[in-house]
Copies of this chain bind each other. A is one copy, B any other.
Amino acid sequence: MMYKRQVQYYETDKMGIVHHSNYIRWFEEARIDYMRQNGIDYNVIEKQEHLMMPVVAVDCKYKTGAQYGDIVAINTDITLFNGVKLIFSYTVLSEDDNVLATGTSTHCFVDMDFKPVRIKKDNVNLYNKLCSLLKE
C-alpha cells in the first residue's frame, strides 16, 4: 500500500534536506492512510470507539536525505500484532525507487484515560481487521 506525498519547503532544514524528525511525521501520515485504505478510519476509532493508539516506540534509519519538491512514496506494512502490541514497518522511497529511509512504529491500545484496552475482547472488529492485515 503506497502513500505518496510531496516534500514541503518547511520540512527542510539548513542542511538543505528534510529534517530527520519529519520522517516520523510521514510515518504517521502513511500509517493513517494505510489503515484508511484497509477500512480502518482512525478518526472513527477515537471518536466512536473511544480508543487511542499511542506510539510507544519509534525508530528510523536514514539512507539519503529527501529534498524539497521530491515526491516520496511510503510503503506501510503491519509486521507484528498480538492484540496488545501493534508494529507498523515503513519504507520511504524516492521517485526512482531508491530507499531513502526505513523505520517502524510500535503502538498500544488505550482508552481516553490512557488505560490499556484489550481489543481482542472489547473491539473484536478492529482486532479481526488488524489480524487480517498482519503480513505473514
Contact = CB atoms under 8 A, between A and B. Distances in A.
Contact of A14 (B14, B21, B29, B32): B14
A28 B28 CA distance: 20
A8 B28 contact: yes
A22 B22 CA distance: 9
A55 B59 CA distance: 12
Interface string A97-125: 00000000000000000100000000000
A109 B83 CA distance: 42
Contacts of A54: 15, 17, 20, 62, 65
A25 interface: yes
Interface in A34-53: 41-43, 52
Contact of A58 (B17, B59, B65, B68): B59
B13 A13 contact: yes
Contact of A62 (B32, B42, B57): B57
A129 interface: no
24 contacts: A8-B25, A8-B28, A8-B32, A9-B13, A9-B32, A9-B42, A10-B13, A10-B19, A10-B28, A12-B14, A13-B14, A14-B14, A14-B16, A15-B54, A21-B21, A21-B22, A21-B25, A24-B24, A54-B65, A55-B62, A56-B61, A57-B59, A57-B61, A58-B59
